[in-house]
A = this chain, B = another copy of it.
Amino acid sequence: ERAGKPEAIYAEGKSPEEVVKIIKNALKHLKGVLVTRASKEQIEEIKKEFRDRKLDISERSGTVIVGEKREVIGKVAIISAGTSDIPVAEEAVKTCEFLGLEVKKYYDAGVAGIHRLIKPIKEINSDSVDSVIVVAGMEGALPSVVAGLVDVPVIAVPTSIGYGVSLGGLTALFSMLQSCSSGVAVVNIDNGFGAGVFAYLISRTIRKRLKS
């Protein structure tokens, strides 16, 4: 493990057998392993091969935890807007859970119905979350609005959702980078994993300070 960061297995482009082999290798020296972007076939193979292990699977996003999660060290809120953004949000959720973050999910909170944000924001501000992950496609406006209402770091994940000028997520990405609220930083398009690791590093740093 490099600098405290998890080596997740990126399944895309590998055969189910290869994925299983890499997991087995990893489990020799680790208690649990995170697999991202796994296809239906890869998940089937994993289920078959590791039926004696704890398995936490999000089919929609292709994320799988084989074995143990790490012990809980912090808390994160994950907000997304449209149904089509959910797979990316789920990748973030599973990554966070694997790394020991308790996750508060808010999955129906778009800017087109701004009133639906009131409750999540209230909970976030009263609850002790260490950071907020906001997943949004289309015009990518959600992180701006959220960052204007909370006082913890906001990690924005643009998604490739949309058609026409969505440009595979570039519009959402650029939108987020220009957020007129400060306090937003951004990861690559669809990179729920990256957002999860970043949120983990924030909570981990908090925990380190608390200990010292």
**Interface of A with B (CB < 8 Å)?**
2-6, 13-14, 81-84, 110-114, 128, 130-131, 138-141, 144-145, 147-153, 155, 158, 160, 162-171, 173-191, 193-195, 197-198, 201-202, 204-206, 208-210, 212
Contacts and interface: CB of A to CB of B under 8 A. Distances in A.
Among A81, A201, A202, A210, the most chain B Cβ lie within 10 Å of the Cβ of: A201
Contacts of A209: 128, 130, 206, 209-210
Contact of A180 (B112, B160, B193, B208): B112
B212 A128 contact: yes
Contacts of A144: 111-112, 139, 141
Cβ-closest 3 pairs across A and B: A164-B189, A141-B141, A185-B185
B183 A139 contact: no
Contacts of A141: 111, 139-141, 144-145, 175, 180
A206 B153 CA distance: 11
B153 A202 contact: yes
A205 B130 CA distance: 7
A95 B106 CA distance: 31
A179 B139 contact: yes
A111 B145 contact: yes
Contacts of A208: 128
Given A140-B175, A164-B189, A191-B164, A210 B210 contact: yes
A175 B175 contact: yes
Nearest to A181: B112
A14 B158 CA distance: 21
A164 B188 contact: yes
